[in-house]
Amino acid sequence: MQADDGKTAEEAGTDRLTGTERMVRTGDLTLWAEEFGSPEQPTVLLVMGAGAQGVQWNDGFVRHLTAAGHRVVRYDHRDIGRSSTVDFAARPYTVADMASDALAVLDAFGADRAHLVGASLGGVIAQRLAVTHPHRVRTLTTLSATPLGTDTARAVGRALAGRPPLPGELPPPTAELLTVLASSAPGPRAGREEYVTTRMPMWRVLHGTILPFEEAEYRAMEERVYERAGGRRSGLNHTLAAVAGGDRTSDLAAVTAPTLVLHGTEDPMFPPAHGEATAAAIPGARLVTVAGLGHTLPAALDRWLAGEVLRHIQR
């Protein structure tokens, strides 16, 4: 399969999009960020998920947004990519802290308000900003996310113990995903090839079984991740941050930003009920289910996903 800009996965990997990079200082941390488009254009802030770098927002997706007249900013969370690492045991942090990082990025680029697009944990971070800083949020788009305040760790713990979800509890990740996640962490001294090869089974499961799996595309992505951070996996701290703090799903009733909830029908991390619950918790939110999509951003859907986001933020 070709990416929707006409390039194969291999060609897309060698034709990387390059923007204006900036290192953003916030407290004693430094966050890597990258800007595309003109500061005079409306800003779209892309917020990636747990353990994922900003460059895992596909270049093709970014190109479609900028071509439509938007300034796009993507960045590395703390503990991932080229941003600062944190001793989580000594200085634990929460989703609230990661949301403050996103605000620091917006401030650094002089963006008083932005369209927020968040994937997975990034969607939860964006939800929190829409609750606590509504004046900074033009629109909200979540992709493959769970509602703010969801205790995913409790659901996973029950699933691993062979117990069913509690009444009213959202479904846990699939058993297949939990199994592969336990074996997909490369060793601390893994070289690039070992690192990438170890990660492929996880991506196969996250991708789902409906859409064609383009291994070359995922390998190119993981090679880029490895090059930027040497395989550093301190981003696992994001999972700990995701279950810390006192956020509640009921807080989403206060969201006033126009909201789009995009969710794949084959998502093994957050099954479709998570997207339904997110949309139900936010007044006026519109839910769009994506047939065949798992918990990834395949390049073949760049144009379609960007089109959905653009229709939402340009209404």
Three-state SS annotation for the chain: CCCCCCCCHHHHHHCCCCCEEEEEEECCEEEEEEEECCCCCCEEEEECCCCCCHHHCCHHHHHHHHHCCCEEEEECCCCCCCCCCCCCCCCCCCHHHHHHHHHHHHHHCCCCCEEEEEECHHHHHHHHHHHHCHHHEEEEEEECCCCCCCCHHHHHHHHHCCCCCCCCCCCCCCHHHHHHHCCCCCCCCCCHHHHHHHHHHHHHHHHCCCCCCCHHHHHHHHHHHHHHHCCCCHHHHHHHHHCCCCCCHHHHHHCCCCEEEEEECCCCCCCHHHHHHHHHHCCCCEEEEECCCCCCCCHHHHHHHHHHHHHHHCC
- Catalytic residue, chosen from 83, 84, 120, 144, is 120
251 is a catalytic site residue: no
- Catalytic residue, chosen from 267, 274, 302, 312, is 267
- Catalytic residue, chosen from 207, 295, 302, 312, is 295
267 is a catalytic site residue: yes
User: Catalytic residue numbers?
Assistant: 120, 267, 295
